[in-house]
């Protein structure tokens, strides 16, 4: 493979670029070539299954999503690459791809470059050819070059995968990218109206849809100021991904007879249907939404009640809009995780967050974050295919 320069990493590969081939000789006999994606490769890549084999065999499946266009997800981040693999012994057939995005995030209040490695996809009939070695070699070269270029502040390399995904564990282990947090995917069926909780007699509630992007940005910046891995600027989400940020609900509790706000909670609806098509086991398309940037700030005694009230109200609003499923991804250290899933019946899936740390100082800071249970902000752009399965006790009874 050729060395990847930072300027190339900052180029949107979906645009037309010279097709420079990367050759990896070790173990692959010069048969396979890794190169930049071009629009001519789309048809060959688009139908490769994104669901791990072990999940395909799960008898408790309710619904699984597949990307409408596999290039949409990397494009959620301004700086990204898409690489594809050619088989020279099969008329240059394109048989796999992977993506890597670059973000500037805040960790312990300081800016840090983060590479997110994702969407390792290989045609089923090529999955015994060690093609992912090509992907890993490219990532490894990028990692080494970044350490050389930035020895005092090398970037993080991040990936995620279900805890049961042995293949992902091995790929990340080969790169020295190790588990550092547990993330949880929670979802539920939106098929019944839920009663809202009773409120204290001295509390008044107001729920509105916030239209001002500037106000949302300010609120998110404040609510997530103590989180790690937040964007340096939430405009990365609110502006660059504005078509996916469908609606932001804001709730405020005030004391009766005054304008004193004692708590504020918020939920933003991310339109996952623009990225993925969710189909149930009968092939029926099911509208679905991701909940993002959820927070509840203010007086401790009201925070849980306020968020519960808002979550149930949002559920009822989505029911009116004909949405079938709601879901969220959160680190297990998030203070709101105990609110999910809102309704039982769908199995919550645990994911490993994998991270490569290149200097002792970063290792100490992350160890401190783990000990203090400092939450990691969950980026909606990182969410790939959605797997919805019956809770195990229900699946076993079928």
Q: What mean pLDDT is reported for the chain?
A: 87
Looking at the structure, tell me whether residues 161 and 198 fall in a common domain: no
Identify the residue whose tokens are 């809202």. 196
Residue 42 belongs to domain spanning:
6-53+69-183
Of the listed ranges 38-47, 320-329, 384-393, the one predicted with least confidence:
384-393
Q: Indicate the helix (H) or strand (E) that contains 124.
A: none
Q: Indicate the helix (H) or strand (E) that contains 73.
A: helix 72-75
Helix, strand, coil percent content, the chain, rounded in steps of 5: 30, 35, 35
Looking at the structure, tell me whether residues 18 and 127 fall in a common domain: yes
- At residue 286, the pLDDT reads 97
Residue 248 banded pLDDT, cuts 50, 70, 90: very high
How many domains does one find in the chain?
2
Looking at the structure, tell me whether residues 91 and 240 fall in a common domain: no
- At residue 50, the pLDDT reads 76
- At residue 351, the pLDDT reads 93
- At residue 5, the pLDDT reads 31
CATH assignment at residue 166: 3.40.630.30
The token pair at 214 is 């500037």
Of the listed ranges 42-46, 48-52, 218-222, 304-308, the one predicted with least confidence:
48-52
Instruction: Tell me if 338 sits within 8 A of 349, measured CB to CB.
Output: no
- At residue 162, the pLDDT reads 86
Indicate the burial class of 284 (C-beta count within 10 angstroms; 0-12, 13-18, 19 or more): exposed
Instruction: Tell me if 390 sits within 8 A of 346, measured CB to CB.
Output: yes
Looking at the structure, tell me whether residues 128 and 196 fall in a common domain: no
Task: Read off the pLDDT of residues 161-191 as tens digits, 9 standing for 90 and up.
Answer: 888 888 888 888 888 888 888 999 999 999 9
Rounded CA-CA distance 301/394 in Å is: 36
- Whether the per-residue pLDDT at 395 is higher than 50: the answer is no
């Amino acid at each position: 493979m050729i060395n990847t320069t930072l300027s190339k990493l900052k180029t949107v590969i979906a645009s037309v670029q010279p097709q420079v081939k990367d050759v990896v000789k070790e173990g692959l006999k010069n048969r396979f070539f890794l190169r930049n994606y071009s629009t001519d490769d789309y048809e060959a890549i688009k139908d490769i299954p994104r669901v791990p084999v072990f999940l395909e065999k799960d008898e408790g499946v309710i619904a699984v999503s597949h990307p409408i266009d596999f290039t949409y997800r990397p494009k959620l981040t301004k700086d990204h690459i898409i690489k594809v693999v050619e088989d020279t012994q099969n008329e240059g057939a394109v048989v796999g791809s992977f993506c890597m995005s670059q973000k500037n995030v805040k960790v312990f209040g300081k800016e840090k470059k983060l590479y997110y490695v994702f969407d390792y996809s290989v045609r089923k009939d090529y999955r015994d050819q060690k093609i992912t070695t090509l992907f890993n070699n490219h990532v490894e070269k990028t990692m080494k070059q970044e350490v050389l270029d930035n020895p005092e502040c090398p970037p993080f390399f991040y990936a995620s995968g279900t805890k049961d995904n042995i293949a992902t564990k091995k790929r990340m282990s080969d790169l020295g990218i190790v588990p550092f947090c547990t993330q949880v995917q929670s979802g539920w069926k939106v098929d019944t109206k839920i009663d809202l909780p009773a409120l204290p007699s001295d509390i008044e509630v107001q729920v509105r849809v916030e239209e001002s992007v500037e106000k949302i940005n300010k609120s998110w910046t404040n609510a997530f100021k103590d989180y790690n891995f937040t964007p340096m600027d939430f405009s990365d989400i609110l502006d660059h991904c504005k078509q996916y940020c469908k609606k932001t609900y804001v709730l405020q509790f005030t004391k009766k007879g005054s304008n004193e706000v004692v708590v504020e909670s918020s939920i933003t609806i991310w339109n996952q249907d623009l990225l993925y098509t969710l189909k149930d086991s009968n092939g029926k398309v099911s509208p679905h939404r991701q909940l993002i940037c959820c927070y509840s700030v203010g007086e401790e005694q009201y925070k849980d009640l306020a968020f519960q009230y808002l979550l149930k109200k949002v559920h009822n609003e989505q029911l009116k809009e004909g949405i079938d499923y709601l879901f969220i991804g959160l680190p297990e250290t998030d203070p709101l995780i105990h609110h999910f899933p809102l309704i039982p019946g769908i199995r919550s899936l645990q994911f490993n967050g994998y991270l490569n740390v290149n200097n002792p100082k970063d290792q100490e800071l992350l160890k401190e974050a783990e000990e203090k249970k400092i939450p990691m902000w969950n980026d909606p752009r990182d969410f790939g295919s959605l797997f919805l399965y019956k809770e195990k006790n229900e699946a076993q009874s079928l």
